[in-house]
Copies of this chain bind each other. A is one copy, B any other.
Amino acid sequence: MADIHFNKDQGSKLKLFTPGPVFVPEWVLKELSKPNDTHRSVPYQEMHKQAREGIQKLLYTENDCFIFTSSATGIMEACVRNLVNKDEKALFLSIGAFGDRWYEIGVKNGKNAIKEGVEWGKALKPEIVKDILSKDHYSAVFLQSNETSTGVYNPMEEIIPIIKDSGALVCVDTTSSIAGVKIEIDKLRIDVCLASVQKCLALPPGLAIASISQHALEKAEKVENRGFYFDFVYFKKKSNSNETPTTPPIPQIRALVAQLDYILNEEGIENRFIRHTRLGKRTRIWARDMNLEMFPEKGYESNTVSTMRNSINLDCGKMVNEMLSKGYRIVNGYGDLANKTFRIGHMGEITIKDLEEMLETLTDVISAQRLNKISTN
Contacts and interface: CB of A to CB of B under 8 A. Distances in A.
Given A21-B250, A105-B229, 5 more contacts: A1-B264, A10-B34, A11-B254, A69-B206, A109-B225
Interface in A218-232: 224-229, 231
Interface string A251-275: 1101001101100110011000000
A108 B227 contact: yes
A372 interface: no
Interface in A1-40: 1-2, 4-14, 16, 18, 20-21, 23-24, 29-30, 32-40
A74 interface: yes
A246 B4 CA distance: 26
A71 interface: yes
B53 A4 contact: yes
Interface of A: 1-2, 4-14, 16, 18, 20-21, 23-24, 29-30, 32-41, 43, 46-47, 50, 53-54, 57, 69-74, 76-77, 81, 101, 104-105, 108-110, 196, 198, 204-207, 224-229, 231, 245-252, 254, 257-258, 260-261, 264-265, 268-269, 329, 331
A37 B330 CA distance: 12
| Chain multiplicity (copies) | 2
A46 B30 CA distance: 24
Contacts of A207: 206, 249
Contacts of A37: 12, 14, 16, 329
A229 B70 contact: yes
Nearest to A42: B324
Contacts of A225: 108-110
A321 B10 CA distance: 40
Contacts of A261: 4, 6, 8
Contacts of A245: 73
Nearest to A245: B73
A38 B53 contact: no
Contact of A2 (B16, B33, B249, B265): B265
A227 B227 CA distance: 11
Nearest to A205: B247
Nearest to A208: B69
Contact of A247 (B21, B76, B260): B21
A282 to B, nearest CB: 22
Contacts of A196: 247
B206 A251 contact: yes
Contacts of A227: 77, 81, 105, 108-109
A116 B108 CA distance: 31
A59 to B, nearest CB: 13
Contacts of A4: 50, 53-54, 57, 260-261, 264-265
Contacts of A29: 33-35
A101 B77 CA distance: 21
A74 B252 CA distance: 18
A331 to B, nearest CB: 8
B329 A41 contact: yes
A210 to B, nearest CB: 14
Contacts of A264: 1-2, 4
Nearest to A60: B1
> Shortest 9 CB-CB distances between A and B: which pairs?
A206-B249, A11-B34, A6-B261, A71-B246, A33-B33, A12-B37, A32-B32, A29-B33, A73-B246
Nearest to A266: B2
